[in-house]
Amino acid sequence: MRLNLRVATVVALAGLVVAACGTGGGGQQAPSGPKHGGTLRVAIGIDPDTLDPAAQTTTTSSQIVDMMAETLVTIDAKGAIQPLLATSWSQSSDGLSYTFTLRKDVTFQDGTPFNAQAVKFSIDRLLSPDTFKAQPNVLGGKTGISRVDVVDDTHVKFTLFTKLAPFVAALTQTQAAIISPASVNVAPNKPSVIARPVGTGPYKFSERVAGDHITMVANQSYWGPRSNYDTQIYKVVPEGASREALIRSGGADVIALPPANDIPALQADSSLRVILGPSDRTIQIIINTQDQAEPLLQKPEVRQALNYAVDKAAIIKNTMFGAATPLDAPMAKSLFGYCSIGTYDYNPTKAKQMLQQAGAAGMTVKLVSPTGRYVQDFQVAQAVAGYLSSAGLNVQGPSTTDWPTYVATYAQVGPAQAKTDLSLLGWAPPYLDAQQQFEQFYSPRVPPAGLESSYYKNPQVDALITEANAGTDATQRQQQYCQAAKMVWSDAPWIFLYNQKYPFVTTSAVKGVTGLPNEKFVTTWASPA
Amino acid sequence: MLTYAARRLLVAIPTLLGVATVVFLLLRLLPGDPAIVIAGPTATPEEIHNIRVQLGLTLPGWQQYLGFMVRLAHGDLGISTRTGAPVIQEISTRVPYTATLALASLVLAIALGVAAGILAARRRNTAADVAISGGAVFGVSMPTYWLGLMLIVVFAVRLRVLPAAGTDRGIESLVLPAVTLALFSMGLVARQTRSAMLEVLGQDFVRTARAKGAGRAAVLLRHALRNALLPILTTIGLQFGTLLGGAVLTETVFAWPGIGRLLVDSIGARDYPVVQGVVLLLSVSFIVINLLTDLLYAYVDPRIRYG
């Protein structure tokens, strides 16, 4: 009997002992590093909804499509526009049409030649209402592309309804990728839905098991430099801690988004490399600038006070574990149109003083935040609530809901139906032009016509944005955006928090995984270290 | 018995129609417009409208409902709004994963749970009994999420004997999720077996069996267990639901591409057709499992007859 008890105790403790022993001896067995020509295993957090280029909405899914299907133009590591399938382009004098010269001697992965017809086919498909969930964005609608014309085999001309300054930038989006016209009729593809993209990219679609993995193999006849890995497998691992376990146990070579609170520990591990990739995503607390429940928030000085009340640097250090940079403008530095404006340095005394003067001391504000949509989102909202309380406000929340409910309840409602005073939101322009960031400060985008959920309205800012969005002179556009940004900054429709980074981890056996400013991490050109 | 089974299945039809209706209504009561969720933050109003047309969301509610029911009657569950593939295809690629996981867990839970329960009853109030009962409480109370991660840390990260997540290593990949999922049910089955056995072991026929010289194993298994089996069977039948529920978390932690994760992803994307399909499938499985459990009663206990 006594023996049994002892045995039971020993068994029960075995796991703990094993775990404890492992702490010292961990990593005695090197992770099985991939060999040249071998396989790269990447673990991502979401299961791509679709691999149809035309229907892309998320960067993680887009970066996979990017490996198989290429766009006419792309961005480099600094965010500058670079040729890809097009070699050059020119704008007509009226600013309404663009002619692209295409790369010669490129073939699709199914052998179909790449030419102007294929470009027209792909863009027409993007604009077609029959394409399932097509996401033409600014390229579509009444203001986007009106027609695509084949000039000759290597020249294609786009004509727009209205002038759109960032048109070429918008063509860097994965939705504008060029696919083989023949491939849409090869099952399981249909003209309306593509499950297996056939493009011109350095990797070819090989296999997909829904919810589990996507396998791509090197395209041996790629027109550009050859990729290093013969095979790349993107595994879907929704839980961050599981992805971390996977790379620590040798089951993955690259993982996206480790749990933020483990970033310091991962950085200390010499067998791993933590890369805080760039992103153009700003994270902010949206202030209801037409607030009826708390009309004091309609005053710019009150909103400025809220900006002074929050210690952004401390939040970045303690809650974001360094995976962010403070904002010094209402947009990320990588956008065209950015200029440095200043900072609302943490100053609780000043904040209290300003609130006192505005008669806003002790006012009640409701704060909401999504959970798990952005890195540490809810935790950051909790920290913000703490700072606002310290400034003497009566903060209700943060409360949270799932994302679809959040969008429907707080972001997509007009000023009359507003249900909160403050809401945490991230905004990541799909291409690196201030035009996309200013969708957040442009009053024609007040919901339901857009997601400008601060309801901010400044006629001068609106006029500057309208002009800059259609401008043809880059220097002038830059100045107009900069001027508008300065007004936005002082009107403070947001508590400007930070520009999020996009953390990913590779083993030290892998090099060449790079982050792009549009929040993609590119494994295409990775190689064994 | 066949007529009984047939009648039960017939009665299940209105139940399923009710489930379909309730799911349809509940989904539409949820806040969150599928078109907006699908289109993403930077979509233009025209784009959102086009998606709404494609998904049939511009039709009045009653027309959507009728369309759904008519298609359902034809065995058509519609098209996934998240992926554009038929719902049947989305579900059928996931079912084998969940079925494998649930079955493996159930086998583990039954084999170890019943054995541990018998042992605990046989050695009542000994250290073994205390250890087993304690273990059962542990299994029942541990949150699946935490337990799964702990197992991953020990067996995948430290010992490196099993994969941390995924499905790419066959049976090795199955071990940790199956154990994680099984522990809760195992605990319940062990506790139920122990108490049912204790009740039976004190009865006269057991003493008689011993007195007539039946061996220890024969007394335990043939006489006692057989009589204690009914409540155990009920517990096991009910565990099926628990397993499917637990599968949602287990599948997430272990990146197991089953029905549970499909359901979570689909709710997150407001993919009405897939959610409806999965809930219907789960309802059918519940009905079938309950029926099987009831039929097994008659097999285990000849006194029970269904006419």
- In SS3 terms, chain B reads as CHHHHHHHHHHHHHHHHHHHHHHHHHHHHCCCCHHHHHHCCCCCHHHHHHHHHHCCCCCCHHHHHHHHHHHHHCCCCCECCCCCCEHHHHHHHHHHHHHHHHHHHHHHHHHHHHHHHHHHHHCCCCHHHHHHHHHHHHHHHCCHHHHHHHHHHHHHHHCCCCCCCCCCCHHHHHHHHHHHHHHHHHHHHHHHHHHHHHHHHCCHHHHHHHHCCCCHHHHHHHHHHHHHHHHHHHHHHHHHHHHHHHHHHHHHHCCCCCHHHHHHHHHHCCCHHHHHHHHHHHHHHHHHHHHHHHHHHHHHCCCCCCC
Alpha-carbon gap: A408 to the closest alpha carbon of chain B (Å):
5
What mean pLDDT do residues B250-278 have?
92
Contacts of A49 in chain B (CB under 8 A): 38, 82-83, 269
| CA separation for the pair A199, A183 (Å, rounded) | 9
Strand partners for A256: A504
Largest CA distance in chain B: 85
The answer to whether B100 faces chain A, any CB pair under 8 Å, is no
- Compare all CA atoms of chain A with the CA of B93 and give the residue at the minimum distance: A210
pLDDT in tens, B128-163: 899 999 999 988 888 888 999 999 999 999 999 999
Taking CB atoms and an 8 Å limit, are A407 and B42 in contact across chains?
Answer: no
When CB atoms are compared, the residue of B36, B40, B166 closest to A412 is B36
| CA separation for the pair A140, B44 (Å, rounded) | 8
**Closest to A11 measured CA to CA, from B170, B123, B45, B131:** B131
Per-residue confidence (pLDDT) for residue A8, from 0 to 100:
41
pLDDT in tens, A142-180: 889 999 999 999 999 999 999 999 999 999 999 999 999
Alpha-carbon gap: B232 to the closest alpha carbon of chain A (Å):
25
Q: Domains (ranges, CATH) in chain B?
A: 95-257 (1.10.3720.10)
Per-residue confidence (pLDDT) for residue A21, from 0 to 100:
37
Alpha-carbon gap: B155 to the closest alpha carbon of chain A (Å):
9
Q: Which residue has the higher pLDDT, B274 or B295?
A: B274
Per-residue confidence (pLDDT) for residue A2, from 0 to 100:
40
Per-residue confidence (pLDDT) for residue B240, from 0 to 100:
79
**Chain B (194-253) residues lying within 8 Å, Cβ to Cβ, of chain A:** 252-253
**Closest to A219 measured CA to CA, from A231, A203, A239, A205:** A203
What mean pLDDT do residues B274-291 have?
89
Residue keyed to tokens 């009910």: B238
pLDDT in tens, A469-525: 988 889 999 999 999 999 999 999 999 999 999 999 999 999 999 999 999 999 999
pLDDT in tens, A288-328: 999 989 999 999 999 999 999 999 999 999 999 999 999 99
Categorise residue A281: left if φ over 0, alpha if ψ from -120 to 50, beta otherwise. beta
Per-residue confidence (pLDDT) for residue B307, from 0 to 100:
62
Q: Could you give the strand order of the β-sheet that contains A213-218, starting from the edge strand earlier in sequence?
A: A203-209, A213-218, A231-236, A39-44, A254-256, A502-507, A272-277
Per-residue confidence (pLDDT) for residue A1, from 0 to 100:
36
Phi, psi of A340 (to 5 degrees): -75, 130
When CB atoms are compared, the residue of A135, A212, A402 closest to B47 is A135
**Closest to A137 measured CA to CA, from B244, B33, B46:** B46
Taking CB atoms and an 8 Å limit, are B166 and A235 in contact across chains?
Answer: yes
**Closest to A482 measured CA to CA, from A342, A339, A344:** A339
User: Over chain B, what is the mean pLDDT?
Assistant: 88
Residue B133, classed as helix, strand or coil, is helix
Per-residue confidence (pLDDT) for residue A371, from 0 to 100:
92
The answer to whether B93 faces chain A, any CB pair under 8 Å, is yes
Taking CB atoms and an 8 Å limit, are A8 and B158 in contact across chains?
Answer: no
pLDDT-based confidence at B225, cuts 50/70/90? confident
Per-residue confidence (pLDDT) for residue A6, from 0 to 100:
41
Note the pTM of the prediction, 2 decimals. Answer: 0.89
Helix (H) / strand (E) containing A160: strand A155-160
Residue A368, classed as helix, strand or coil, is strand
Per-residue confidence (pLDDT) for residue A222, from 0 to 100:
95
Which tokens is B116 given? 């541990």
Burial (Cβ within 10 Å: 0-12, 13-18, ≥19) of residue A331: buried
Contacts of A193 in chain B (CB under 8 A): 84-85
Q: Which residue has the higher pLDDT, A177 or B39?
A: A177
Strand partners for A217: A204, A231
Which tokens is A290 given? 């037409």
- In one-letter notation, the amino acid at residue A505 is V
Helix (H) / strand (E) containing A232: strand A231-236
Alpha-carbon gap: B31 to the closest alpha carbon of chain A (Å):
5
Helices A474-491/A459-470 angle, 10° precision: 160
Instruction: Print pLDDT tens along chain A (529 aa).
Output: 343 444 444 344 343 333 333 333 333 333 444 445 799 999 999 999 999 999 998 899 999 999 999 999 999 999 999 999 999 999 999 889 999 999 998 999 999 999 999 999 999 999 999 999 999 988 998 889 999 999 999 999 999 999 999 999 999 999 999 999 999 999 899 999 999 999 999 999 999 999 999 999 999 999 999 899 999 999 999 999 999 999 999 999 999 999 999 999 999 999 999 999 999 999 999 999 999 899 999 999 999 999 999 999 999 999 999 999 999 999 999 999 999 999 999 999 999 999 999 998 989 999 999 998 999 999 999 999 999 999 999 999 899 998 888 988 898 889 998 999 999 999 999 999 999 999 999 999 998 888 899 999 999 999 999 999 988 889 999 999 999 999 999 999 999 999 999 999 999 999 999 999 999 999 999 999 8
pLDDT in tens, B165-195: 999 888 999 999 999 999 888 998 999 899 9
Dihedral angle over CA of A45, A50, A52, A53, nearest 10: -30
Categorise residue A336: left if φ over 0, alpha if ψ from -120 to 50, beta otherwise. beta
Q: Which of A514-523, B8-17, B222-231 has the highest mean pLDDT?
A: A514-523
Which tokens is A106 given? 């490129």
